[in-house]
Structure 1
């Protein structure tokens, strides 16, 4: 079973419907106890980083998500859910993240449209990653004003990038923890295939210690 984590800031309907269309079992969970029983988990997210971390703390999810990642079971972050996996964000002041990966989330700066919203082409840096197996290097749907600064993290976690006046980490992963800055559930065949690859890892019981 795939747990979709409900902490009050996720696009639960579209994510759950995407998993349902793919034919996998899921449950929307709002407690660490429910999460602990899952075979895999999705951390969605829409909104501000600091608010999200406050909600996760209040519901007891911070340590539960870290423990889940450490257990080797597949974990997948989406949009804000990806940003939360990193050390800190500069959104509305400095905010500490889950720190599963090192990295700083910063706001786009420049004379161009912010937020970055719309379809952008993906560039696979690790085409052999299990997450992008048989996935077309096509377009994905982004909506965000903040992004992971690639200079602040480990390059080996970058599976795919997009270009929005600079390099934007679009797909990241190491061992059992993966994430996308874009919304795979809104990204057509490209996104659905990527979600299917993740769900297969869960179904097959793939673990990384």
Structure 2
């Protein structure tokens, strides 16, 4: 027993040192966070007029002059809701800010712009989610031309929604559109969210 005791004491000492180190590291992280947050809250308002806002696509298929699209929307409430949500965003500012935290945004553009930028990002999120939904339904209804038009707008807008890429891949594959498939991969490479690897895997699958 007296041979085991020294080893036990050594183990306890090591554990205490590791816990102390971990505690100090955590305290430093908390301190750095609040220092950064304090600096962010003191950052003055910056000009946000020239940011990379989503450019509306005036060539999107419209219900009013597209019989096929109109028939689908009239018979599918989910598709109609997504279509109307997309159209309601025309003329509104939309921007992809998924790579930034609120603290990042305040440091970069000033605390006074946070509410405005959050609104613009919410508009963007609504856009890409509803595009993915509408595009998927149109594809299922075999209206691939209109589906591709909306899904391509989503991709150009920086969407990182997996179904947006998967559905376009299916359309391009069935059409033998190799240039479209190549473009999909180029856009996927630009994704900065955690969905990038999954999307690249989807596109690489045979």
TM-score range, shorter chain: under 0.3
- Pick 1 or 2: higher relative contact order, CA cutoff 8 A, min separation 6: 1
Q: Name the TM-score, length of structure 1 as normaliser.
A: 0.26
Structure of greater Rg: 2
Choose between structure 1 and 2: higher strand proportion: 1
Choose between structure 1 and 2: higher helix proportion: 2
